[in-house]
Structure 1
């Protein structure tokens, strides 16, 4: 895989460049897949707070995709996704949850768990990408990726809050 970035041979830790680009393409696919999953999960959620959280994260995910396009531009590459098998599997699991649980409160708890699994995947992905970008002195990319990383962490915390206040409580 011959990926060219600005001053590729002169950048520090250039050996990480192909991995960085591969991970960028993976997370771009993950974000695009997540859009469909969030739409489905929002439609199945019973709690208004959870529906709103999914809708807000949908809009945020659209911003994440635009931000990833800026990251690609910052390293002189056009944005191109590669199929993210991990997110695809996580969303398949979410579909199974929707089919298997009918009780409203249990379904919401299960949807939160499914969404948090996806968030944790994204947090891990963006955390690695920020590290690689910093190691290669791609400061603009690192800043953009770190902004998304922080938003993913905030979403995870919000989902935990909804779970503890609404879904994972005794009746």
Structure 2
């Protein structure tokens, strides 16, 4: 008897899922014109631009860094950023939109701030590396906020595969932020504090 009840529950659960999928398909046609979908696409274009700009900015930060450990971290993040761009291409495809960049004032400002840090700190110092880590973490926090919000919007709108990709990027951004903190706390901040 218990087996029969389980089978009935499974059948009814499958029917509910099918109905939900059917509803999602119906809503998807209307979703293109929905304000939330338009905002989501706009925000994707914004972070797509930001990631493209970051590839070059990370090279600049790499070249300006003093320690090999920080140079390696910037190089790793640059490679990761290129993968993020590729994943964003897939997200656009999954929601049937053309990958397109929209100028991101926030990322432009963060990159400009990083360039100012390089100009205002002495080459070859731990102070510069400490400042570069802070600049890089500001970028990471912007990306974490962006991807966290985008992933939740994707889930809300039923774009589950896109949400999975966005959540994967989010996790990698959080890992990068953590690694930068580790580098700072292990030696760079202490060494910077000793400089005259």
**Both structures adopt the same fold (TM-score exceeding 0.5):** yes
SS in 2 for 1:79: coil
How far did 1:10 drift?
A: 6.0
| Counterparts of 2:31 and 2:143, CA distance in 1 | 30
The alignment status of 1:117 with 2:138, answered yes or no, reads yes
* Structure holding more helix per residue: 2
RMSD between aligned residues = 1.4
The answer as to whether partners of 2:45 and 2:102 remain within 8 angstroms in 1 is yes
SS in 1 for 2:101: coil
Unaligned runs of 5+ residues in structure 1 are 1-5
Match of 2:79 among 31, 41, 59: 59
Which structure 2 residues correspond to residues 70-81 of structure 1 after superposition, within 5 A? 70-81=90-101
How far did 1:59 drift?
A: 0.2
SS in 2 for 1:89: helix
For 1:89, the equivalent position in structure 2 comes to 109
SS in 1 for 2:166: helix
For 1:167, the equivalent position in structure 2 comes to 188
Which structure 2 residues correspond to residues 142-153 of structure 1 after superposition, within 5 A? 142-153=163-174
Unaligned runs of 5+ residues in structure 2 are 1-26
| Counterparts of 1:123 and 1:10, CA distance in 2 | 26
| Counterparts of 2:36 and 2:156, CA distance in 1 | 9
How far did 1:15 drift?
A: 3.8
Higher relative contact order (CA 8 A, sep 6+): 1
| Counterparts of 2:31 and 2:136, CA distance in 1 | 40
Q: With structure 1 as the length reference, what TM-score do the two structures score?
A: 0.92
Q: Which runs of 4+ in 1 moved over 2 A?
A: none
Larger Rg: 2
For 1:98, the equivalent position in structure 2 comes to 118
The alignment status of 1:156 with 2:156, answered yes or no, reads no
